[in-house]
């Protein structure tokens, strides 16, 4: 039985590499590629795919928020987050969105087939390079209220990401089709909620929880 896969990543070279890798598996077929979370969400209701392989850190709409919306709007799609971050917090963040797997990009060539097979059988797949003990320890000490999805609204997370990516209030307003005053209100509320009142602190928070990467 052939498993259909959609790839979501804002880097062409990554999509090409992932596609070439999957082509070596005779029982896996890449049926679509998307350059952003927004593109994936728009196509989700009609796309015929079993698995979505999605990067975490994408400009505009990050993979975590995309996965969260996909899990709600199209729960039949199984999501495997693909990331460069070998840390427990990113993996836990991914599972909290409704994703069924977490795979490191450096491990993809060895583990992607196993990851897809595991998820297709209704199980959760965690990259073998991540310590199960570290994940369990992280979950024990993580307070649900500390997670961005529980502290901030979807709009506030969007604005936080764009702020961390360096956009001004006017640029964010244009991107989200809001008034600058509305953006300023959301910005003030999210800063108060996080108790972070400087851009550098917001950037560190956004990196920690996978809204952006250090490169951005």
pLDDT at 155: 87
What is the mean predicted confidence (pLDDT) over 49-72? 90
What's the pLDDT tens digit per position in 126-146?
Answer: 898 886 655 666 555 555 555
The band of 112, judged by pLDDT with boundaries at 50, 70 and 90, is very high
| 140-178 residue pLDDT tens | 555 555 555 567 888 888 898 888 888 899 999 999 999
| Measured CA distances, 89 to 20, 34, 101, 209 (Å) | 29, 26, 14, 7
Kindly tell me the burial class for residue 92, based on how many C-beta atoms sit within 10 Å of its own C-beta (0-12, 13-18, 19 or more).
middle
Q: What is the mean pLDDT of residues 76-98?
A: 86
Highest mean pLDDT among 29-33, 172-176, 189-193, 204-208: 29-33
Residue 29 has pLDDT above 90, yes or no: yes
b vs e for 61-83, b when ≥16 Cβ sit within 10 Å of the residue's Cβ? bbbbbbbbbbbeebeebbbbbbb
Mean pLDDT over each residue of the chain, to the nearest integer: 86
108: left (phi over 0), alpha (psi -120 to 50) or beta: alpha
């Amino acid at each position: 039985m052939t498993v259909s896969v959609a790839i979501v990543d804002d880097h062409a070279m990554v999509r090409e590499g992932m596609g070439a890798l999957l082509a070596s598996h005779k029982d896996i077929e890449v049926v679509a590629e998307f350059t952003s979370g927004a593109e994936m969400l728009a196509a989700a209701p009609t796309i015929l795919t079993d698995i979505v392989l999605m990067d975490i850190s994408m400009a505009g709409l990050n993979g975590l928020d995309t996965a969260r919306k996909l899990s709600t709007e199209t729960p039949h799609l199984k999501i495997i987050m693909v990331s460069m971050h070998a840390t427990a917090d990113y993996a836990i963040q991914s599972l909290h969105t409704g994703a069924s797997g977490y795979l490191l990009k450096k491990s993809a060539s060895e583990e992607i087939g196993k990851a897809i097979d595991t998820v297709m059988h209704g199980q959760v797949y965690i990259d073998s390079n991540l310590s199960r003990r570290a994940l369990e320890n992280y979950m024990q000490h993580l307070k649900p209220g500390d997670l961005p999805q529980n502290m901030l609204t979807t709009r506030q997370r969007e604005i936080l990401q764009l702020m961390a990516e360096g956009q001004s209030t006017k640029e964010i307003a244009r991107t989200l089709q809001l008034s600058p005053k509305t953006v300023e209100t959301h910005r003030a509320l999210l800063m108060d909620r996080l108790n972070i009142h400087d851009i550098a602190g917001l950037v560190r928070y956004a990196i920690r929880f996978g809204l952006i990467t250090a490169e951005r």
